């Protein structure tokens, strides 16, 4: 069993590669839910949806999220009725949030909903929310604490980032199967996701960091930072805000003691020795996932790094 | 002020005529909510929506309900996720239910939501739900009691109708403004709607029948039955089930003591004397509302009947 800690777009693309080289039913993704937010009274789980849509083959590949060729007729009408519509929700996408909300209100857990939806959409990979409890990632800015989506989408990440917190994290339990998957994994791979607000959130769920550090399986991470910049998303200001270099080295510092091997891009090969000094192995490859073959190659590299890893965690 | 008791399609078309001959801001529609139902966790108010969409000029005229040129992408996805989708909800239409549900959960009343939506959609006529309290029209059939929408839409009115009940009606209060509108009206018009489950439901809200019978204004009804058949909808089995003739005479029996004048179609002119014997005046005209001019003419006839009516109620 291969367990992947997953944020949104980067993780979804990595998983697209992984299902080319491993049976989907032997892969478990543990997905960040700190970015979840209620819009129009509907429970939206952006990272779960991105991963589900991507693996179902229905994602809008140009943006990395949402459903391909979706319309936004409901959103236009919502705007006409006075609703805030800065978070783009397509009509097909909205159906997912409508149904999720209905089932949650009927007493289903987020895990149960997530599993039902991935099955309905014929996704073979098991998808686990990091927790069935509500966690909200908030960003401290000069205008105050903002929900991550307000910071990222509504205000387009334009505010200075002064800090990050995960509201509700202390009382959150790992979702059923999360700890077991980590304990029983043959390999744990941290996808190229935001180390602070995607992977960082998952690791902050009580019990998860310990389960990762203590798993007998090799733990490999793919750096989401290439040549000093994230491939996508607001990792730079968030890493800086928590005192990390925006570099593969910063990623290494963040994951020190958690992983055995860090996979970095060729562009960062010069940092390899420095990173090894943090107590981890380094694998250098092309981490940019342009196209199906590139995704497969990165997944192969990650699996091969896991096979050859020696335990470097304390 | 002209007050109209309204069901769905027939009432909406009648109101389209009325706004051609009277200032919209002097018209109040009191609308049946017994057909309201929760679909996918969303509060749907079919009659309110039909009237709102029609007066906003966005209704799908061929079906009489829903939004013109709407898509059903969300519904397709809901079906894929295992939801029951026999009630057709377009994407723009869905936005209305999403927003309504959000506002109701936030503590708004149905009256407040309805008023906000008609203003947002530039409807000049005041629209009042009959009640802000939940009432559910149920139909007794050989397979048991069915919510009206299940009977009508899911099972296409194929079951024998054995009875009708309005769950919650005893505890329902008229919505704010309903009784006042009836008391202060210059004319009350019962639209050509189902006398049993649209108008009948409104009249069954405690206090409404009394307010209609005791209003100093003339009370005029337009028969929804022409030549022994309803123009649209399941009035026939419902009228039969409560012991009424499916005819303008049956309508007259139903409204006896409530109205001063019944407007019947030319096709039913032969029933006029019989209907007068029930203690009401009769006006005969073309009640089929094909086209804008026909709607205006019917509204003119109704207003003129109101102007010349003499009080015939007990």
Three-state helix/strand/coil letters over A141-176: ECCEEEEHHHHHHHCCCCCCCCEEEEECHHHCCECC
Is residue B234 within 8 A of residue B139, CB to CB? The reply is no
Q: Are B74 and A92 an interchain contact pair (Cβ–Cβ within 8 Å)? A: yes
Nearest-angstrom CA–CA distance, B120 and B151:
32
Residues A31-60: what's their mean pLDDT? Answer: 98
Residue of A40, A77, A92 lying closest to B102 (CB–CB): A40
Instruction: Determine the Cα–Cα distance for residues A5 and A19; give it in Å rounded to an integer.
Output: 15
The pLDDT value given to residue A314: 77
Predicted local confidence at residue A7, as pLDDT:
97
Q: pLDDT tens, B139-180?
A: 999 999 999 999 999 999 999 999 999 999 999 999 999 999
Which residues are CB-contacts of B157 (< 8 A; sequence separation ≥ 6)?
A: B151, B234, B237
Non-local CB neighbours of B259 within 8 Å, separated by 6+ positions = B190, B219, B220, B221, B280, B312, B313
- The proportion of chain A whose per-residue pLDDT surpasses 90, expressed as a percent, equals 97
Q: Tell me what the pLDDT averaged over chain B comes to.
A: 97
- Using an 8 Å CB-CB cutoff, list chain A residues near B80: 120-121
> Average of pLDDT values for A42-63?
97
Rounded distance, CA B36 to CA B43, Å?
A: 7
Query: Chain A within 8 Å of B42 (Cβ-Cβ)?
Result: yes
Candidate from A71, A73, A96 with C-beta closest to B81 = A96
Tokens of A99: 């149904």
Is the CB of residue A184 less than 8 Å away from at least one CB of chain B?
A: no
- Cβ distance B121 to A80 less than 8 Å, yes or no, reads yes
Contact B14, B295 (CB under 8 A): yes
Mean pLDDT of A192-219: 97
pTM: 0.95
Compute the average pLDDT of residues A109-123: 98
- Please tell me the predicted confidence (pLDDT) of residue B116: 98
Q: Is the pLDDT of residue A231 over 90?
A: no
Mutation target vs A (from B74, B96, B119, B121; most A CBs, 10 A cutoff): B74
Give the residue from chain A lying closest to B73, CA to CA.
Answer: A92
Mean pLDDT value of segment A166-176? 98
Mean pLDDT, to the nearest integer, of A144-154?
Answer: 96
Q: Mapping DSSP to helix (H, G, I), strand (E, B) and coil, where does residue B116 land?
A: helix
CB-defined contacts A:B, below 8 A: 100
Report the alpha-carbon distance of residue A270 to residue A260 in Å, rounded. 19
Contact between B293 and B301 (Cβ < 8 Å): no
Query: Which one, of B264, B261, B259, B309, lies nearest residue B286 by Cα?
Result: B264
pLDDT for residue B312: 82
pLDDT for position A248:
97
State the CB neighbour count (10 A cutoff) for residue A123.
Answer: 23
Asked if the Cβ–Cβ distance from A41 to B101 is below 8 Å, we say: yes
Q: Which residues contact B198 (CB under 8 A, 6 or more apart)?
A: B6, B7, B8, B11, B32, B34, B35, B47
Instruction: Tell me, yes or no, if B288 comes closer than 8 A to chain A by beta carbon.
Output: no
Q: Which residues on B lie below 8 Å from A78 (Cβ)?
A: 95, 98-99
Confidence label for B182 from pLDDT (cuts 50, 70 and 90): very high
CA distances from B236 to A38, A78, B218, B231 (A): 45, 38, 28, 10
Q: Which residues pair with A222 in a beta bridge?
A: A263
A145 contacts A164 by C-beta, under 8 angstroms: no
């Amino acid at each position: 069993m291969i367990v992947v800690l997953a944020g949104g777009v980067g993780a979804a693309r990595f998983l697209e590669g992984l299902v080319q080289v491993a049976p989907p039913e032997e892969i478990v993704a543990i997905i960040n839910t700190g970015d979840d937010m209620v819009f129009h009274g509907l429970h939206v789980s952006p990272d779960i949806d991105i991963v589900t849509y991507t693996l179902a083959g229905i994602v809008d590949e140009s943006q990395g999220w949402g459903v391909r060729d979706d319309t936004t007729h409901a959103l236009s009408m919502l705007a006409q009725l006075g609703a805030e519509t800065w978070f783009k929700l397509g009509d097909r996408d909205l159906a997912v949030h409508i149904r999720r909300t209905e089932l949650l209100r009927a007493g289903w857990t987020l895990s149960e909903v997530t599993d039902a939806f991935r099955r309905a959409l014929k996704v073979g990979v098991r998808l686990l929310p990091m927790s069935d409890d509500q966690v909200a990632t908030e960003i401290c800015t000069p205008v105050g604490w903002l929900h991550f989506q307000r910071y990222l989408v509504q205000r387009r990440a334009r505010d200075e980032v002064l800090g990050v917190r995960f509201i509700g994290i202390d009382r959150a339990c790992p979702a059923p199967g999360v700890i077991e998957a980590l304990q029983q994994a043959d390999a744990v791979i941290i996808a190229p996701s935001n180390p602070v607000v995607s992977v960082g959130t998952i690791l902050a769920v009580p019990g998860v960091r310990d389960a990762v550090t203590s798993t007998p399986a090799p733990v490999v991470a793919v750096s989401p930072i290439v040549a000093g910049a994230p491939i996508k998303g607001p990792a730079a200001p968030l890493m800086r805000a928590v005192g990390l270099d925006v570099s593969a080295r910063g990623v290494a510092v963040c994951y020190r003691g958690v992983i055995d091997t860090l996979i970095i891009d060729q562009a960062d090969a010069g940092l390899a020795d420095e990173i090894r000094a943090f107590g981890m192995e380094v694998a250098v490859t092309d981490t940019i996932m342009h196209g199906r073959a590139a995704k497969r190659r990165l997944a192969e590299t990650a699996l091969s790094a896991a096979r050859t890893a020696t335990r470097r965690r304390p």
